[in-house]
């Protein structure tokens, strides 16, 4: 399993944003680092009032997916690929009880995707005729979102910009992402498998209207 986190970019971004803010606000700033269903990320919170923060941040994560095989009577196809999660969010945190419990809403730029390539595991013979794996070809499936700006609603705990110097962060919510969109293409003899199945798989994917968000993290008040 391969994990790639582009943390240095995020940290550089937040430091730059922090330094650009005026001193008046610098004592109401906090940063958070998180790990969760959107990957690993960081954000910068600014307390506008005692019960309202604005938060900007991002996550990034990629992972090599384990190999999966579609077993067919005639041709077995092994899929490998990567899942890439990347988001950037602008959120409002509402603290109704003036403690760490909060309601969160906002917009997220979601550039997450899954990319897989399937190849036959063996040659394919019809009577005296044998087709090589190269002749059979390959399939490519890309999963992404048609709209990359997506609303977010959630609840959570923790206020990076107020309270203790170090804090715990927890978030649970949903990105109203709409169904992920599947694009399948193919080469060689197996190419029709893409068009044959894309609609069927998309119908199943159409039942997924949201992207669940769960994260845990730590915050530091600046």
Contact positions vs other proteins (CB under 8 A): 51, 70-75, 77, 94, 96-97, 101, 103, 124, 126-129, 135-136, 153-155, 172-174, 176, 188-193, 195-197, 200-201, 203-210, 212
Tell me how far CA of residue 193 lies from CA of 36, 65, 77, 96, 199, in angstroms: 35, 21, 11, 53, 11
64 vs 209, which CB is nearer to other proteins? 209
Nearest CA among 14, 66, 31 for reference residue 219: 31
Residues 61, 67, 71, 72, Cα dihedral to 10°:
70
Minimum CB separation of residue 19 from other proteins in Å reads 33
Please give the helix or strand (H or E) that residue 15 lies within, else none.
helix 7-20
Cα-Cα-Cα-Cα dihedral sign, residues 14, 15, 21, 25: positive
Nearest CA among 32, 31, 25 for reference residue 47: 25
Minimum CB separation of residue 189 from other proteins in Å reads 5
Let me know how long the chain is: 222
Nearest CA among 176, 175, 171, 148 for reference residue 160: 171
Minimum CB separation of residue 190 from other proteins in Å reads 6
Minimum CB separation of residue 121 from other proteins in Å reads 12
5 vs 151, which CB is nearer to other proteins? 151
21 vs 210, which CB is nearer to other proteins? 210
22 vs 128, which CB is nearer to other proteins? 128
210 vs 220, which CB is nearer to other proteins? 210
Minimum CB separation of residue 63 from other proteins in Å reads 21
The gap between the terminal CA atoms of the chain, to the nearest Å, is 35
20 vs 128, which CB is nearer to other proteins? 128
Per the CB < 8 A criterion, the answer to whether 7 and 15 are in contact is no
16 vs 201, which CB is nearer to other proteins? 201
| Tokens 């109401």, located at residue | 28
Nearest CA among 170, 177, 154 for reference residue 215: 170
Minimum CB separation of residue 98 from other proteins in Å reads 8
Minimum CB separation of residue 55 from other proteins in Å reads 17
């Amino acid at each position: 399993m391969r994990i790639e986190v582009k943390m240095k970019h995020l940290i550089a971004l937040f430091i730059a944003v922090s330094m650009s803010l005026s001193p008046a606000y610098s004592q109401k700033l906090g940063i958070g680092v998180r790990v969760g269903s959107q990957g690993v990320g960081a954000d910068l919170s600014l307390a506008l009032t005692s019960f309202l923060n604005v938060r900007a941040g991002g996550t990034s994560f990629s992972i090599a997916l384990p190999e999966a095989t579609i077993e067919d009577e005639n041709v077995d196809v092994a899929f490998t690929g990567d899942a890439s999660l990347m988001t950037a969010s602008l959120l409002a945190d509402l603290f109704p009880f003036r403690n760490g419990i909060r309601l969160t809403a906002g917009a997220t730029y979601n550039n997450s995707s899954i990319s897989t390539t399937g190849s036959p595991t063996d040659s394919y013979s019809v009577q005296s005729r044998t087709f090589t794996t190269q002749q059979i070809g390959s399939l490519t499936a890309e999963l992404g979102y048609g709209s990359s700006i997506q609303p977010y609603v959630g609840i959570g705990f923790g206020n990076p910009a107020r309270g203790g110097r170090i804090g715990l962060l927890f978030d649970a919510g949903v990105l109203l992402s709409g169904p992920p969109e599947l694009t399948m293409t193919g080469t060689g003899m197996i190419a029709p498998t893409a068009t044959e199945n894309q609609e069927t798989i998309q119908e199943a994917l159409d039942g997924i209207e949201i992207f669940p968000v769960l994260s845990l993290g730590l915050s530091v008040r600046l």
